[in-house]
Structure 1
Amino acid sequence: MQLTWYFDFISPFAYLQLQRFQELPESVNVVYKPILFAGLLNHWQNVGPAEIVPKRQFTYQFCYWYARKNNVPFKMPPAHPFNSLFALRLAVALGNQLSVIQTIFNGIWRYGYALESIEAMRYFEEQFARDDLAELVSQASVKEQLKHNTQLAAEQQVFGVPTFTVADGQENFWGLDAFDMLVDFIQSPQSFNDEEMLRVKSLPEGIQRKR
């Protein structure tokens, strides 16, 4: 089974979910697609969790608690949210390889570097053994690929990060806490086609809040 993982380095939940990838069945193939979370928010006319003050505060506490409970190295960067374009374009420019993605995530969420800092740039240059990162991320083809990834995610009904999609968006699993649900789907997809699962999936909207 092929899965697509849509993510943005801005998300601590994406970093935490990445630590569980070894739990996926060996038969699964994951395609990694960095996207701009802000682009999804604009598409769905939504706000991010960090834009609601009490939700932001709880999110940071939850992520720290979750990481500590699961023995995952975790350190918040100096400020959040931050501009993740450099990191996203860097992943694209270096081929979206898992090792590259892990390295970038570690710089932000394991070591707590600010992306615009000298420390972060030195870390990336050392890890990737390159001193032309600024030139890499400025390529028009890289920018276009990131834009295309984000548009494709929206077309496949992705509304947040991280999200796993199956069969080109026919089934989507959003967020860290949906990881176990994804594993269940991989192991028993027929259980997602029972009468009640299909009913709740197509449940009509009862009332709509004025915006």
Structure 2
Amino acid sequence: MAAPSPDTPVEFWFDFISPYAYLAWQRVHAVAEASGRAVVHRPVVFAGLLNHWGQLGPAEIAPKRLWTFKQVCRRAARLGVPLQPPPGHPFNPIASLRLVCALHDQLEDQRRLIDALFDATWGGGPGVHDAEALAATLSAAGFDAPAMRARAREPEVKQRLLANAQEAIERGVFGVPTMLVGDELFWGDDSFEDLDAYLRGEDLIDLAALSAWEGLRADAQRQR
């Protein structure tokens, strides 16, 4: 498969609630920049995706919750990324996601803010669920906390986060982290090898053979 156009960015769809999104955040810019591409930051409420597609989150299935925490600890150790649990999980990430939306037109500041909020969540910080802790994180990162929080409460910003959710669903995003390059979707922090190959025009998928998978019929239906 040929590489996508060099001006096609890597869209990074994420929610701070996901430790996998935190791990993916550590690498997405380097992978994109290796092929001369920009990264577009797309905050989205993971719970909204789960609701739309009829899924439970990993933390809502008791044995999967423990397995998830074990796996992210192993992956973080392998990557050399610091990882500590937030004060509680799951938590409500909407205020932090709205803050990112408030800086949609200030990409450098937005990236710095996402760094700070991911660190506050998974890097040993106070989390992002508590208003006072969130304000302290903003101030420590050099932002005007009262102004930022006021901006995040504006209807335009709230609508932007809602619009992101609708666009994500329309484009087939079902989880976080997701990296979209045009219409090609890569899900999970373990998909970077495939993403990198795709960006270099070295995708291993046989497009002719793929048609057989796309047209595969469902011979059973699970009762729900």
Give the TM-score normalised by structure 2: 0.86
CA distance in 1, matches of 2:54, 2:68: 21
Matched residues in 1 for 2:20 and 2:219: separation?
Answer: 30
Counterpart of 1:23 in structure 2 is 31
User: How far did residue 54 of structure 1 move?
Assistant: 0.5
Q: Does 1 or 2 have the higher relative contact order (CA < 8 Å, sep 6+)?
A: 2
Residues 52-85 of structure 1, C-alpha deviations (whole Å, 9 max, x = no match): 0100111011111211222101111021111000
Q: Which AA in structure 2 matches 1:67?
A: A
Candidates 103, 125, 137, aligned match of 2:139: 125
Structure 1 residue 162, shift from structure 2 partner: 0.6
Structure 2 counterpart of 1:110: 123
- Are residues 48 and 207 of structure 1, via their aligned partners in 2, closer, same or farther at CA, if it must alter by over 3 Å? same
Contact 1:78/1:114 (<8 A) preserved: yes
User: Is contact 1:185-1:192 (8 Å) kept?
Assistant: no
Report the TM-score when normalising by structure 1.
0.91
Counterparts of 1:131 and 1:116, CA distance in 2: 15
Query: 1:5, 1:30 within 8 Å by CA — same for their partners in 2?
Result: yes
Assess if the C-alpha contact under 8 Å between 1:163 and 1:174 holds in 2.
yes
Distance in 1, Cα, partners of 2:218 & 2:96:
38
2 CA distance for matches of 1:203 and 1:188? 26
User: Partner letter of residue 157 of structure 2?
Assistant: V
Give unmatched runs, 5+ long, in structure 1: none
Partner of 1:14: 21
Identical residues among aligned pairs (%): 36
Residue 59 (structure 1) aligns with:
68
Please tell me whether the aligned partners of residues 192 and 198 of structure 1 are also in contact (alpha carbons under 8 angstroms).
no
Q: Which amino acid aligns with 2:197?
A: D
Q: Which amino acid aligns with 1:183?
A: D
The change in CA–CA distance for 1:129 and 1:194 in structure 2 (over 3 A counts) is: closer
Matched position secondary structure for 2:186: strand
Distance 1:29-1:205 versus aligned 2 partners, 3 A rule:
farther
Instruction: State the distance in 1 between where 2:205 and 2:36 align.
Output: 20
4-13 vs 132-141, greater mean Cα deviation: 132-141
For residues 107-151 of structure 1, the C-alpha deviation after alignment (integer angstroms, 9 at most, x for no partner) is: 111124232343442122221331313312211011000000010
Report the more deviating stretch, 176-185 or 148-157: 176-185
Is residue 2:59 matched to residue 1:44? no
The one-letter code sitting in structure 1 at the alignment partner of 2:31 is: E
Q: What is the CA distance between 1:190 and its match in structure 2?
A: 6.1
> Which runs of no fewer than 5 residues in structure 2 stay unpaired?
1-7
- Label 1:202 to 1:31 Cα distance change in 2 as closer, same or farther (>3 A): farther
Which letter does structure 2 place at the counterpart of 1:85? I
Which segments of structure 1 move beyond 6 Å, counting only runs of 4 or more? none
Q: How many residues align?
A: 209
2:16–2:93 CA contact under 8 A, matched in 1: yes
- Which deviates more from structure 2 when the two are superposed, residues 138-147 or residues 26-35? 26-35
Give the Cα–Cα distance (whole angstroms) in 2 for the partners of residues 182 and 10 of structure 1. Answer: 23
Residue among 180, 199, 202 paired with 1:186: 199
For the aligned residue pairs, the C-alpha RMSD in angstroms reads 1.8
Q: Deviations over 1:155-199 (max 9, x none)?
A: 0011000101122xx211111111111111111266434322332
Distance 1:155 1:12 in 2: 24
- Given the superposition, is the C-alpha separation of residues 88 and 181 from structure 1 closer, same or farther in structure 2, using an over 3 Å criterion? same
